[in-house]
Amino acid sequence: MRTCYAFADRCRHWIEAADDARLTVGFRRNKQNTDIEAIKGDFADALIDFAMRRHIENQTAVIRNLIVAAALAEAGAPPPRQN
């Protein structure tokens, strides 16, 4: 889905479940002169990158939340002043 979102400026997509383990992604170009074959290649590369991003997120989500919570917990800000 994230890969499709990133490519939404170049083409429209539809996604169907081919079977339990596979998805079929369809492409329809937004502009007549768009090279759809080039987009398919770029999409395949981007798909691998987004899969890696998801892997990294899954591996680091707990520590990310700890970092943000620790950072903000110690940063109490004063309330608005009363006139």
Partner 1 sequence: MSAPRFAPASDYARSQSTGYRLLPFRFTRIPGIENVLAVNEVGEFLFIEPADFIAFVGGGLSPAHPAYADLQSKHFLVEGEPTTAVRLLAAKYRTRKSFLRGGPALHVFVVTLRCDHSCRYCQVSRRPAADTGFDMGDETADRAIDLMFQSPAPALTVEFQGGEPLLAFPQIKRITEAAAARAGAEGRAITFTMTTTLHQITDEILAFFQRHDFQLSTSLDGPAALHDANRPLPGRDSHARTVAAINRIRAALGSYRISALTTLSRASLDRPEAIIDEYVRLGFPSVFMRPLSPFGFAVRADQRIGYTTAAFLDFYRRALNYILDLNRRGIRIGEAYAGYLLAHILTPFPTGYADLRSPAGAGLGAWVYNYDGGVYASDEGRMLAEMGDDAFRLGSVNDKAADLLQSPAMQLLLASGVAEALPGCSDCAFLPYCGADPVFNMALESDPIGHRAVNAHCAKHMGLFNILFAKLAEADPFTLRVFLSWALQRPLEPDDEATL
Question: What minimum distance in Å lies between the beta carbon of 39 and partner 1?
Answer: 13
Taking contact as CB under 8 A, which single stretch among the options 17-25, 34-42, 68-76 is the one that binds partner 1? 68-76
3 in Cβ contact with 46 (< 8 Å): yes
Q: Which is nearer to partner 1, 20 or 78 (CB)?
A: 78
Residue 12 sits in the site that holds partner 1 (CB under 8 A): no
What does the alpha-carbon distance between residue 47 and residue 24 come to, in Å, rounded to a whole number?
13
Q: For residue 51, give both structure tokens.
A: 């899969």
Produce one character per residue of 13-23: b if its CB has 16 or more CB atoms within 10 Å, e if not: beeeeeeeeee
What string of DSSP letters covers 10-42? Answer: TEEEEEEE-SSS-EEEEEEESSTT--HHHHHHH
Subset of 17-56 contacting partner 1 (CB under 8 A): 49-50, 52-53, 55-56
Question: What minimum distance in Å lies between the beta carbon of 77 and partner 1?
Answer: 5
Residue numbers at the binding site for partner 1 (CB under 8 A): 2, 5-9, 49-50, 52-53, 55-57, 59-64, 66-68, 70-72, 74-75, 77-83
